[in-house]
Structure formats: C-alpha cells, structure tokens
Amino acid sequence: MKSKITIHFLLVLLIFYLKINLSYAQKEDFVWTFGYAVVIDSLSSNGGFNIDFNTNPPSVYRVNRKINFLGTSSSICDSEGRLIAYSNGCQIANASNEYLERGERILSDQGQFGNFLCKFGFTLYFSTLMLPVPESGDECVSLFHFSVKWTGEAPEYFYNDTLFITLICKDLVQKEFRISELKKIVDIQNFMNGYFTATKHANGKDWWIVQKERWTNKYLLYLLKKDGKIEKKTDYAGENVIWGNCYPQNKFSPDGRKYAWFDPCIGLYIMDFDRRAGVFSNPVLIPTWTNYNIYSTGGMEFSPSSRFIYCTTQDSVWQLDLHSKEVAESRTLVQVWDGFRRNGDGIETNFLFAQSGPDGKIYITNLTNYIHVINKPNLKGTACDFRQRGIVAPTVVGGAMPYFPNYRLGALPDIMPEKGDFIVTPNPSMNQLQIHTDLDYISVKLFDITGREFFVPFDGAGWVDLSNVPAGVYILALYSEWGTRLAARRVVKM
C-alpha cells in the first residue's frame, strides 16, 4: 500500500514539474519582421524580410508581404517558435503573409488620415505589443494597439489617444488563428509616444503593460490576465519630465526589477519596479550627455543579465553599469559610428533603436539594410564585442525595430535570496531552472557529486538548461568575469 502511495505521489510531482518546465520553453520572439515599400522584385532593396532565431546563427531571408513597417512592428510565435501573426498597428497578417479576416484595416475608422498613415505602415513608433493570453497555452494571443489623434501642432503633431486589445485565437475546428475579438477599448488617455512596454507579473503568468501619460509623471499600468481580462491602475513616479522633442526608447530589464527610458534630449531615467504590486520607486535621472536636440533618436536596451544598459545616440553607443555605486560615472563609450554609408543612396548606417534577441545578443537598426550586433552584452566595456553591420539584410529595415518583452521571465520565489547568495527555481527541475541573485556572475558550471563537470547551456539572463543532463544530484556554481567562484548550491535534476 505504501509503495502505491509513493508511486502516485511521484507521478503527481512529475506532472507538476513537467507543466512548470514546459511553460519555460517559450519562443514567442523567435521571428522578427522588418521591411518597407513592399515589392515583389527580388532584386530590389525595398521589400520585407525576417530574422528567424529558430536556426543558429539566425536566418535572414526576404519575405513577400503586404505590410510595411515604418513606425512599429510586432510579431508573436507559439512556444515552439512557429510564427502566428504580426502587425504594424494598421493591419494584422498571419504566418502565410495574408491578412487575417477583419485585420486588413484596423485603423479604418480614422478616415483619410488613417488611410494615409497606413499606406506607408506609419503608426507611431513602439505603439504595438503582442503577448500570449495568460493560461491559454498556444491557443490565444493578444495585440495591443492604438488609434492616432492629429493635433496639427508642433512638436508632436499626432499622438496615441485610445488603447485597444485585439484577441487572436485558434479556431477549434480548422485549427487556424482568427480574430476572435477586434479592437476592444482598454483605455482612452493622452498617451506619450514611444513609452509602451511590458513585463511579467511576479506570478509568472500575467503581464504588466505600461504606458506613460503625455508630459506628466503618471504611468498607466494594465494587468493582462486569464481570458484577456484587464485590470487598470496608475502610479506616479519621479518628477514631471516634459517631452524633449526626441524619439526615446523604454524597456523593462530582463529580470523585471528595473524600468528605464532613454531620450537623448533629456537623458536616461531609471526606476525600480515591484512586479508583485506594480509600483515604481527610486527614480534617478542621468542628464543627457549628447549633443543632439529636436527629433533625434535614442535607443536603449538592457543586457540579458540586467546589469548593463546600452544607450544609442545615432553616432555612438554607451554602456552604463547598474551595479556601480555611481551609475552615471560608469558610462563607457563602446562604439562610435565609422561613417559608413550605404552604396547608392548614401544613407547613414548609424545607431537607432535596440532590441535583445533570444540568442543573448543585442541588435541595433538604422534606416538601411545593415544591422549592428553586440555579441557579448553581458561583458563590461568594449569586451561586449560590438560589430558594426554584423547583419546584411536583403532589404531595408524601414525604420521600425520590433519590440519583444522577456517572454521567458518566470515567477518570483516566495522568499528571495539573502545578499551575496542565490536560489534556483524550480528545484528539483526536469529541464530548465532560473537563478535568482544579486551576485555579479557571468557564467555557471555544473558538477556531479564526484566533481565531474557537465556542460549546460546558460543564456546569460539567469536560465540554465538541464535537459541533456542525467537525473541526479548536482552542484551549480556561479563565476565572475575573472573566473572567481562566487557561490554554489545543490540542485536536483529529475
């Protein structure tokens, strides 16, 4: 009788951990969509292309599609990396590059103004976001998008004024993704252009979506929950920072603990974020150190480790160390534009917007078909290995950098580790585990009880892959960039 109870308990435990670990095998950001001035001519520098991270190195290939990306680009894959849908805020298309039914003109109610914008794929930059619907598996995804209001007044002329959610779910009969709910109003506000981002709730399932209000210190937070339900709240953080007439970029750190935006006309703004309560704190403004002013572009991205912030100022790329006592003084110049211009039209291959890839690298776009790559963003200073024009795409980017939150961010443990220590979750684990710590580590090693080392893939953002390791008890050790062993902990592979 006792053995039957034990077997039943182990089966329940096995199913529980299987469900947990399957949720970590997320590849929603494995296909990035780019392109402008869609054409069929395969020899033209205009048209569409994808970056596909289902291969290593990622594949870059031309795509004949109907959608332009001049202002914003969002796409989403299923958990296995298969493209589901993508959007530029004007249209929604599927993996076959056909419009979804009712997805051809989602700004059609804005008359001639909307038609003019959508002809060029020009919704305001970073104004779309695609997220999986919590607890829906691969059955439903959501698109958050805006309507655009024309003011006719400088410096903005137009801004986002209504936030919508569109649900795209798999048809139970034909197993195809269709729009199940179109343009449900989430909120009507004076939204600030370019300040739209997301991170997971501390429960590892729901999503915090953040949008800044125009010209105030008010942050609007929307919690996406099961079945597409949304809860709203607001938070006031820092001083009332007026828009600097530049084009900013904002992000959450991969671990969800920091939020930052960079505007080259104002500077770098950094805050702590509580993923449980949805509250900002400890705002710090590092005044701009650039010579740019009105209508300049500033990009930013966190390193996968969440330690470094990279800021782009068109002709330069800077790194700041969040673990430094004086973050502003840690600013290091890691790259200067070499002056290269694209043959034929002379367009600058400079530095605009940045996005971290699922391969642990950071990609930086410009208006040409060249994309810059930071190969080792977790390393300090020029050791980050910046490669100008690391990717040569078949067509021009079009000005829009796709935005993806950290889909692989897990739940916070109930008890966080003490300073100088670390914990892992889940432990035991069947496939992947996540490290939680404040230690400055850049690599991990896994040993069995005899001291034999096992190679385990580590993404630099806290995730360790144990899928190819035999079941057993192991020691996981964290190491600094100098090879110093910082801490170790026992882990169990089921």
DSSP string computed for 70-88: SS--EEEE-TTS-EEEEE-
pLDDT of residue 20: 40
User: Would you place residue 158 in the very low, low, confident or very high pLDDT band (cuts 50, 70, 90)?
Assistant: confident
Of these ranges, 121-125, 237-241, 256-260, the one predicted with the greatest mean pLDDT is: 256-260
| Pick from 237-246, 316-325, 355-364, 424-433: least confident | 237-246
Q: Which among 166, 146, 148 has a CA at the least distance from the CA of 220?
A: 146
Tokens for 150, please give them.
């024309």
Write the pLDDT tens digit of every residue in 85-120: 999 999 999 999 999 999 998 887 776 777 777 777
Q: For residues 266 and 413, what is the distance between their CA atoms, to the nearest angstrom? A: 36
User: Would you place residue 192 in the very low, low, confident or very high pLDDT band (cuts 50, 70, 90)?
Assistant: confident
Q: Which among 399, 406, 300 has a CA at the least distance from the CA of 88?
A: 399
The residue among 41 and 186 whose pLDDT is bigger is: 186
| Pick from 136-140, 246-250, 357-361, 475-479: least confident | 246-250
**3-class SS of residue 13:** helix
Q: Average pLDDT over the chain, rounded to whole?
A: 88
How many Å from the N-terminal Cα to the C-terminal Cα in the chain? 24
pLDDT of residue 470: 94
pLDDT of residue 15: 40
pLDDT of residue 463: 87
Region 373-396: mean pLDDT is 96
User: Would you place residue 22 in the very low, low, confident or very high pLDDT band (cuts 50, 70, 90)?
Assistant: very low
pLDDT of residue 98: 95
Q: For residues 344 and 338, what is the distance between their CA atoms, to the nearest angstrom? A: 18
Q: For residues 125 and 10, what is the distance between their CA atoms, to the nearest angstrom? A: 50
pLDDT of residue 418: 80
pLDDT of residue 353: 95
Residue 294 clears pLDDT 90, i.e. is over it: no
User: Would you place residue 281 in the very low, low, confident or very high pLDDT band (cuts 50, 70, 90)?
Assistant: very high
Q: For residues 212 and 57, what is the distance between their CA atoms, to the nearest angstrom? A: 36
Q: Which among 456, 494, 493, 467 has a CA at the least distance from the CA of 479?
A: 456
Residue 41 clears pLDDT 80, i.e. is over it: no
Write the pLDDT tens digit of every residue in 324-348: 999 999 999 999 999 999 886 789 9
Residue 154 clears pLDDT 70, i.e. is over it: no
Q: For residues 14 and 8, what is the distance between their CA atoms, to the nearest angstrom? A: 10
pLDDT of residue 406: 96
Residue 25 clears pLDDT 70, i.e. is over it: no
User: Would you place residue 244 in the very low, low, confident or very high pLDDT band (cuts 50, 70, 90)?
Assistant: low
Q: Which among 340, 329, 398 has a CA at the least distance from the CA of 49?
A: 398
- Contact present, 386 and 25 (Cβ < 8 Å): no
Region 379-400: mean pLDDT is 93
Beta bridge partners of 434: 425, 463
| Pick from 22-31, 232-241, 292-301: least confident | 22-31
Residue 6 clears pLDDT 80, i.e. is over it: no
| Pick from 208-217, 292-301, 391-400: least confident | 292-301
**3-class SS of residue 16:** helix
Taking CA atoms, 334 is separated from 87, 321, 388, 479, in Å, by 33, 13, 11, 24
pLDDT of residue 159: 80
pLDDT of residue 370: 96
